[in-house]
Structure 1
Amino acid sequence: MPTRLPRSPAGPSVAMSPNPCLGTDILTLHLRGLRCCPIQVRVVSSTGEVVLEREVFPLSNHHRLPLLLPTNSPAGMYHCVAVQPGGKAMKTWLALMD
């Protein structure tokens, strides 16, 4: 019997995942319910260093966007913050492995 995945939250959300097809230096940002809304994205290492900061503009309600991390990004925990206009922030964590 297949394992069921948890249902996605009802409302806007953000998530990050590594993209093994493209390599460990590329992660995929999953934006849900944020169509046509400029989003400020910041990825921060566990030491507080900002490793990626950019503005994205999702074209659909279920938008997947590959983001290139710097090639020297070490393994560890990364914190992603996506901020909508008006200041509402959505946060998620990503673990990069060696």
Structure 2
Amino acid sequence: MDVATLVGGAATIASTTSFLPQAWKVIRTRDTAAISAGMYAVTVVGFALWLTYGLLLGALPLIVTNGICLLLSAFILAMKLLPPRGKPAVAEALDPGG
């Protein structure tokens, strides 16, 4: 395996897992007060554009990485934008024991 593939793999793991702690915290606490909607909106648009770029190139690593990041960041943004009474229902569906 060449160095570029190793670096790309490490970048994929770092990028995709970076959103997991925030998503899990939102599910557990149902609290999104400290999250910036503007920042996540820009992030979602960025990942959507990267995903589109990957699709246009047919580059599977870009497609997979940015698809996962898009889903996670869009979930966090959606939870931020949901009315307070809607958050518990979504969180309960994702973490019934929580």
TM-score in same-fold range (> 0.5):
no
**Higher strand fraction: Structure 1 or Structure 2?**
1
TM range (shorter): under 0.3
Larger radius of gyration: 2
**Higher helix fraction: Structure 1 or Structure 2?**
2
TM-score of the pair, normalised by structure 2: 0.23
TM-score of the pair, normalised by structure 1: 0.23
Of structures 1 and 2, the one scoring higher in RCO (CA 8 A, sep 6+) is 2
